A and B are shown apart, each in its own frame.
Chain A
Amino acid sequence: MTLTELANPSRFLAFANRALPWLGGMTVIAFAFGLDMAMNAPNDYQQGATVKIMYLHVPSAWLGMLGWALMSVAALGTLVWRHPLADVAAKAAAPIGAAFTLLCLVTGSLWGRPEWGTYWVWDARLTSELVLFLLYLGVIALWRTVEDPSRAARAAAILTLVGAIDLPIIKFSVDWWNTLHQGSSVFRLGGSTIYPTILIPLLVMALAFTLLFATLHLAAMRNEILRRRVRTFRLMQASAAS
């Protein structure tokens, strides 16, 4: 099935109904493996057992950023190609991305207290991640404030593209500034600095979280299409009554 065929909302709903049980099942299996590997992984020589928080923190951080990147591509789809599902995809991704960013901030704080001696510092990585969370809240508020869906879509798309500037700032903040947050240790030139006994469970958990994100996003897109259909029906009902 091509992207053009999926542009038809009815076809997309049929695709979502078929794909969701499979995606949900794969997510559960991936989490079963990931959590088992994470719980049985050895402690880190410096962090001790608190390294287990990293199995939640790192995937949440990646998915918070992935959510905004996905919304940025969808924003281009709304503004440039006027793809009928682009705005639906962006609107559905926002609460999920916000939730993962919040989880990243919470788990980071809970890791920071025993390791750094504080829940929060205003360093570049933490602050730019907080900015991402506030951007998510802003774009969700914008969609709820503007009543006309097409105007809301355009305004949200512009805010999303402006907010995308935060993504490279988050990624490179640890290189550009002197931060308390550690530098890149998984995706870096010269390879990962993490030992495989910790890296492999981390990557399996990242896969599980990514599958969860995909499942939730597809389900939320389905809900958004139905919500728009409800709105159309109500408008038709109102115009028939008047």
Chain B
Amino acid sequence: MEHIDHLPFIVASYAAAFAVVGALIVWVTLDYRVQRRTLARLESRGVTRRSAAMRSEPTMQQAKEEV
């Protein structure tokens, strides 16, 4: 096998890169799941955005048009 100078330093650098990038990916993925789950729990308790709540109820103008 070919001898590579300072191999432990090269391996350590790539291991550090995999660790840092891996940690970032795990953080972003887990954070997304946590926020989605929390939002779903709150929505199941009937908490909704005012804009969404307003959209679900017809405005006076829409009500007039329907009539």
Contact = CB atoms under 8 A, between A and B. Distances in A.
Contacts of B20: 99-100, 102-103, 106
| Chain A interface mostly | helix
Nearest to A230: B38
Contact of B49 (A96, A102, A232): A232
Interface string B1-40: 0001111011011101100110111011101100110110
Contacts of A26: none
| Chain B interface mostly | helix
Contacts of B25: 216
Interface residues of B, number: 31
Given A49-B6, A113-B9, A103 B16 contact: yes
A188 B61 CA distance: 63
Contacts of A95: 24, 27
Given A95-B27, A103-B16, A229-B49, A53 B39 contact: no
Interface string A116-137: 0000000000000000000000
Contacts, number: 88
Given A226-B39, A227-B31, 12 more contacts: A50-B6, A50-B9, A53-B10, A56-B13, A99-B24, A103-B16, A103-B17, A216-B24, A219-B32, A223-B35, A230-B39, A236-B50
Interface of A: 48-50, 52-53, 56-57, 60, 95-96, 99-100, 102-103, 106-107, 110-111, 113-114, 212, 216, 219-220, 222-223, 226-227, 229-230, 232-234, 236-237, 240
20 contacts: A50-B9, A50-B10, A53-B9, A95-B24, A99-B20, A100-B20, A103-B16, A103-B17, A107-B13, A107-B16, A110-B13, A111-B9, A216-B28, A219-B29, A226-B32, A226-B39, A230-B35, A232-B49, A233-B39, A233-B47
